[in-house]
Chains A and B, each alone.
Chain A
Amino acid sequence: MSDKASDAETADLEQFRNETRAWLEANCPPEMRKPATSDADVFWGGRNTKFASEPQRIWFERMRDKGWTVPDWPREYGGGGLSAAEHKVLRAEMAKIGARPPLSSFGIWMLGPALLKYGNEAQKKEHLPKIAAGLIRWCQGYSEPNAGSDLASLQTRAESDGDDFVITGSKIWTSYANYADWIFCLVRTDPSAKKHDGISFILFDMTSKGVSTKPILLISGYSPFCETFFDGVRVPKSHVVGTVNRGWDVAKYLLQHERAMISGMGERGVGRPLGQIAADSVGTDALGRLDDVMLRGRIASFDVDEAALAACAERAVDLAKAGQAHPAFSSAMKYYGTELNKRRYEILMSAGGVDALEWESERSRQGARPRAWLRTKANSIEGGTTEVMLGIVAKRILDLPGA
């Protein structure tokens, strides 16, 4: 452990830590050092995007110029080229000052990793730098009205016509399709093959002729998801990622990243402790403890599980970088992370009492808490339900029979 090479590495990493800390201190505007409180606070990029504030623009542009919107992507594709250890340091230093991600994007979380693994050089050069620079906003065309948990039964068809595919069908639960510039989409290219075998993974522009979207009103009163329709959309065959009819491999790989993303939803470990937020409305007893012994216990158990999950998420990244991760582990994290986030919001609703029931008022920030509570109910459905995740763990990790 104490040989010279690793001593030098440790010294380099310490230097990187000091430089990063100083740079963040000098460059992260104070307004960007607290959690985003609404979707409008999040910068998603794209052709039609506008910055919500000047600090948001400054923070984004400074991070983009360092390649730190995607710190561990190669420099040639607009990334920061950081090693695993350096990336971990950057994340830790950002967390320490509460710095927000400068750019949120399905391109970063989902498509990028899939393109890095399965894309050809032309596709990587075309798409990755635009994702890194926040120029193109992507959406995901996976689920269909009759293909939810059973995703591989999807029916949207892509028929060969010369150098193009002609795409017809519809998708559902397409997050932010109405704001997206491009879509990564699963289509059936061979209807006669077995259901997993005839699928291709294809990219196209949402302004193509024949694409339309229709927002879906949810129980939260918001419409983060759309129905998306394709009526004879013409897409060059060169836009297929990986091999035609082998798109399920790409789809599954991308799903691992989607699940990792969803498991990380929720403002884990930042801001005030949940118990203190609860004390604002519930009150405290003579000893300063939350004046609701059952709620206090629930919150404390939640805090234990949340801290433990954070360690597990950290370990999952470390294992992946050490090449020791099980490829299906993101399903385990997705199951637990989403159930935990639902617990958080049940606690927040219980703690808020009557105050958490207002739906439309300035005082309640237009019912921010109840709407967020209702939004979390989708966490254990989107990207694969809890039941599907447990089935994957049982089959692929535990190797149980007939699952």
Chain B
Amino acid sequence: MALVLTEEQSMLRDSARGLISDKAPISHLRHLRDSKDPTGFSREFWHSFAEMGFAGLLVPEEFGGSGLGYVEAGIVMEEIGRTLMPSPFLATSVVAASALNRGGNAAQKSEYLPKISNGSLLATLAIDEGAKHRPLQTGLQAVRAGNGFKLSGAKALVVDGHVADLLIVAARTAGSAGEREGLTLFLVNPAAKGVAVERTIMVDAHNAARIELADVEVDADSVLGEVDQGAGLLDGVLDIGRGAVASEMVGLSEKVFNRTVEYLKSRKQFGKLIGEFQALQHRAAELYVDIEITRAATMKALQALDADVTKAAAAIAVAKARAGTTATRAVQEGVQMHGGMGMTDQFDIGFFMKRARVCEELFGDANYHTEQLARARGY
């Protein structure tokens, strides 16, 4: 398949870009942050997003969704990255929808997927426990109790955790930390007894939460997929999330880069436009090439997901690793080339730097994914 957008995909990009840049420019994020908005995103805008078919973009049509693929989800994520819009799209429409669609039984799918599609249900995956993303290190305990399970443990960096109506919790039903066997995903109602959700105000002013579960009782119907065999489902769902975050980082990188290049063409020092200085020109050119290469690697990874989620791991590792290093470079050059202005809160560049740092940690940083590739290649 060609690594260029089809006509339909270009139209999707244009409509997403039009909607997002019009309704949620960076000032939207700034307003949510400064007003200490309790929701952390605009519910009103989320409903218009749902009406456009974006909330259920990955959901099959039989469950009220648009039935589109991961390339299309990446297109929307990239546009989100361009304005840093806080949105439930990643946690609910990409990650949770994929988990439910890939792992859910008929009853679970028909209960939750239509609500995701119409924008009435927010859901999120609770995976990380330590400071770094290490899915196999999952230690949150789920022990059999009566007809169901009792869950105890803590999760961090749960995106949209404080507004979610449904938690998808990765837990250990057997084995010990580090093992693939014995992982199970559970659907947990955040209002259930024993669930404590603490919203964590993060550096990027996007939603995240720490969640503690103390003897939370769930019935057998709340298992998503198979008991003890959750690692395979989790691999696919995380890879889908990684592809989406890589796309967000491509959009973010390109936007911060474009703003920086415009600045090089307008700022004068020593009687010259600073963009005339070769020291800056070559760094800008290198960064441009980095972004183009990362964009291609990300498209390749999304196409690999569309072809077969279970065979996309290497392409996803490449894309997420590249997206991390590229975005980091883009935001650092953005601040440096803007000079003192780049350090001010009034200027938007800092928002990009902060969001890039969070995206880098989400679902594994560049080191994590580079390591995964080395292992896959047997050295």
Interface, chain A (partner B; CB < 8 A): 1, 85, 88, 273, 275-276, 278-279, 284, 288-290, 296-297, 299-301, 303-305, 307-309, 311-312, 314-315, 318-319, 321-322, 324, 329, 332, 335-336, 387, 389-391, 393-395, 397-403
Nearest Cβ distance between residue B144 and chain A, in whole angstroms? 34
Asked whether, in the complex, the Cβ of B322 is within 8 Å of the Cβ of A308, the reply is yes
**Please, how many angstroms separate the alpha-carbon atoms of A297 and B373 in the complex?**
11
Interface, chain B (partner A; CB < 8 A): 2-4, 6, 8, 261, 264-265, 272-273, 275-276, 278, 281-282, 284-286, 288-289, 292-297, 299-300, 314-315, 317-319, 321-322, 369-371, 373-374, 377-379
Give every chain B residue within 8 A of A319 (Cβ-Cβ): 3-4
Asked whether, in the complex, the Cβ of B4 is within 8 Å of the Cβ of A402, the reply is no
Taking a contact as CB atoms closer than 8 A, the residue among B4, B8, B318 that contacts A308 in the complex is B318
Give every chain A residue within 8 A of B276 (Cβ-Cβ): 400-403
Asked whether, in the complex, the Cβ of A303 is within 8 Å of the Cβ of B377, the reply is yes
Asked whether, in the complex, the Cβ of B379 is within 8 Å of the Cβ of A279, the reply is yes
**Please, how many angstroms separate the alpha-carbon atoms of A1 and B67 in the complex?**
13
Q: Which residue of B lies closest to A324 (CB)?
A: B4
**Please, how many angstroms separate the alpha-carbon atoms of A162 and B261 in the complex?**
53
Give every chain B residue within 8 A of A387 (Cβ-Cβ): 282
Give every chain A residue within 8 A of B295 (Cβ-Cβ): 312, 315
Asked whether, in the complex, the Cβ of B379 is within 8 Å of the Cβ of A314, the reply is no
**Please, how many angstroms separate the alpha-carbon atoms of A304 and B323 in the complex?**
11
Give every chain B residue within 8 A of A290 (Cβ-Cβ): 374, 379
**Please, how many angstroms separate the alpha-carbon atoms of A1 and B1 in the complex?**
13
Give every chain A residue within 8 A of B370 (Cβ-Cβ): 297, 300-301, 303-304
Nearest Cβ distance between residue A351 and chain B, in whole angstroms? 10
Give every chain B residue within 8 A of A279 (Cβ-Cβ): 379
Asked whether, in the complex, the Cβ of B282 is within 8 Å of the Cβ of A275, the reply is no
Give every chain B residue within 8 A of A278 (Cβ-Cβ): 379
List of 3 A-B pairs having minimum Cβ-Cβ separation, nearest first: A275-B379, A308-B297, A315-B3
**Please, how many angstroms separate the alpha-carbon atoms of A403 and B272 in the complex?**
12
Asked whether A296 and B293 contact (CB < 8 A) given A304-B370, A400-B275, the answer is no
* Cross-chain pairs A/B with CB under 8 angstroms, 27 sampled: A88-B2, A289-B379, A299-B379, A300-B373, A304-B317, A304-B318, A304-B370, A305-B322, A308-B296, A311-B293, A311-B299, A312-B296, A315-B299, A321-B2, A332-B292, A391-B278, A394-B281, A395-B281, A397-B285, A398-B285, A398-B288, A400-B261, A400-B275, A400-B276, A400-B281, A401-B276, A402-B273
Give every chain B residue within 8 A of A322 (Cβ-Cβ): 2, 4
Give every chain A residue within 8 A of B264 (Cβ-Cβ): 400
**Please, how many angstroms separate the alpha-carbon atoms of A303 and B378 in the complex?**
12
**Please, how many angstroms separate the alpha-carbon atoms of A398 and B282 in the complex?**
11
Taking a contact as CB atoms closer than 8 A, the residue among A273, A304, A395 that contacts B322 in the complex is A304
**Please, how many angstroms separate the alpha-carbon atoms of A1 and B293 in the complex?**
27
Q: Which residue of A lies closest to B290 (CB)?
A: A336
Asked whether A315 and B373 contact (CB < 8 A) given A397-B288, A403-B281, the answer is no
**Please, how many angstroms separate the alpha-carbon atoms of A368 and B231 in the complex?**
45
Give every chain B residue within 8 A of A304 (Cβ-Cβ): 317-318, 321-322, 369-370, 373
Asked whether, in the complex, the Cβ of B273 is within 8 Å of the Cβ of A393, the reply is no
**Please, how many angstroms separate the alpha-carbon atoms of A275 and B371 in the complex?**
12
Asked whether, in the complex, the Cβ of B379 is within 8 Å of the Cβ of A390, the reply is no
Asked whether, in the complex, the Cβ of A307 is within 8 Å of the Cβ of B318, the reply is yes
Q: Which residue of A lies closest to B261 (CB)?
A: A398
Give every chain A residue within 8 A of B299 (Cβ-Cβ): 311, 315
**Please, how many angstroms separate the alpha-carbon atoms of A330 and B297 in the complex?**
17
Q: Which residue of B lies closest to A304 (CB)?
A: B321
Nearest Cβ distance between residue A290 and chain B, in whole angstroms? 5
Asked whether A308 and B282 contact (CB < 8 A) given A318-B4, A319-B4, the answer is no
Nearest Cβ distance between residue A296 and chain B, in whole angstroms? 6
Asked whether A315 and B296 contact (CB < 8 A) given A276-B377, A290-B379, A401-B275, the answer is yes
Q: Which residue of A lies closest to B301 (CB)?
A: A311
Asked whether, in the complex, the Cβ of B4 is within 8 Å of the Cβ of A315, the reply is yes
Asked whether, in the complex, the Cβ of A336 is within 8 Å of the Cβ of B289, the reply is yes
Q: Which residue of B lies closest to A318 (CB)?
A: B2
Asked whether A401 and B378 contact (CB < 8 A) given A307-B318, A322-B2, the answer is no
Asked whether, in the complex, the Cβ of A275 is within 8 Å of the Cβ of B374, the reply is yes
Give every chain A residue within 8 A of B377 (Cβ-Cβ): 273, 275-276, 303
Nearest Cβ distance between residue B90 and chain A, in whole angstroms? 22
Q: Which residue of A lies closest to B318 (CB)?
A: A307
Nearest Cβ distance between residue A275 and chain B, in whole angstroms? 3
Asked whether, in the complex, the Cβ of A401 is within 8 Å of the Cβ of B296, the reply is no
**Please, how many angstroms separate the alpha-carbon atoms of A331 and B343 in the complex?**
33
Asked whether, in the complex, the Cβ of A308 is within 8 Å of the Cβ of B293, the reply is yes
Q: A304, A307, A397: which has the most chain B beta carbons within 10 Å?
A: A304
Give every chain B residue within 8 A of A1 (Cβ-Cβ): 6, 8
Asked whether, in the complex, the Cβ of A394 is within 8 Å of the Cβ of B379, the reply is no
**Please, how many angstroms separate the alpha-carbon atoms of A336 and B294 in the complex?**
12
Asked whether, in the complex, the Cβ of B296 is within 8 Å of the Cβ of A314, the reply is yes
Asked whether, in the complex, the Cβ of B378 is within 8 Å of the Cβ of A276, the reply is yes
Known: A308-B322, A315-B300. 15 other contacts (CB 8 A): A1-B8, A304-B369, A304-B370, A307-B373, A308-B318, A312-B292, A314-B300, A329-B292, A390-B281, A393-B285, A398-B281, A400-B265, A401-B265, A402-B275, A403-B281
Q: Which residue of B lies closest to A329 (CB)?
A: B292
**Please, how many angstroms separate the alpha-carbon atoms of A278 and B374 in the complex?**
12
Nearest Cβ distance between residue A2 and chain B, in whole angstroms? 10
Asked whether, in the complex, the Cβ of A332 is within 8 Å of the Cβ of B4, the reply is no
Give every chain B residue within 8 A of A303 (Cβ-Cβ): 370, 373-374, 377
**Please, how many angstroms separate the alpha-carbon atoms of A332 and B292 in the complex?**
9
Nearest Cβ distance between residue A190 and chain B, in whole angstroms? 31
Q: Which residue of B lies closest to A1 (CB)?
A: B8
Give every chain B residue within 8 A of A318 (Cβ-Cβ): 2-4
Asked whether, in the complex, the Cβ of A314 is within 8 Å of the Cβ of B3, the reply is yes
Nearest Cβ distance between residue A311 and chain B, in whole angstroms? 4
Asked whether, in the complex, the Cβ of A273 is within 8 Å of the Cβ of B379, the reply is yes
Give every chain B residue within 8 A of A390 (Cβ-Cβ): 281-282, 285-286
Q: B296, B314, B371, B373: which has the most chain A beta carbons within 10 Å?
A: B296
Give every chain A residue within 8 A of B322 (Cβ-Cβ): 304-305, 308
**Please, how many angstroms separate the alpha-carbon atoms of A1 and B295 in the complex?**
23
Give every chain A residue within 8 A of B369 (Cβ-Cβ): 304
Asked whether, in the complex, the Cβ of B289 is within 8 Å of the Cβ of A307, the reply is no
Give every chain B residue within 8 A of A336 (Cβ-Cβ): 289, 293
Give every chain A residue within 8 A of B289 (Cβ-Cβ): 332, 335-336, 393
Q: Which residue of B lies closest to A403 (CB)?
A: B281
Give every chain A residue within 8 A of B6 (Cβ-Cβ): 1
Give every chain B residue within 8 A of A397 (Cβ-Cβ): 285, 288
**Please, how many angstroms separate the alpha-carbon atoms of A363 and B378 in the complex?**
26
**Please, how many angstroms separate the alpha-carbon atoms of A269 and B265 in the complex?**
39
**Please, how many angstroms separate the alpha-carbon atoms of A318 and B5 in the complex?**
10
**Please, how many angstroms separate the alpha-carbon atoms of A402 and B369 in the complex?**
40
Q: Which residue of A lies closest to B300 (CB)?
A: A311
Q: Which residue of B lies closest to A393 (CB)?
A: B285
Q: A279, A288, A301: which has the most chain B beta carbons within 10 Å?
A: A301
**Please, how many angstroms separate the alpha-carbon atoms of A134 and B246 in the complex?**
45
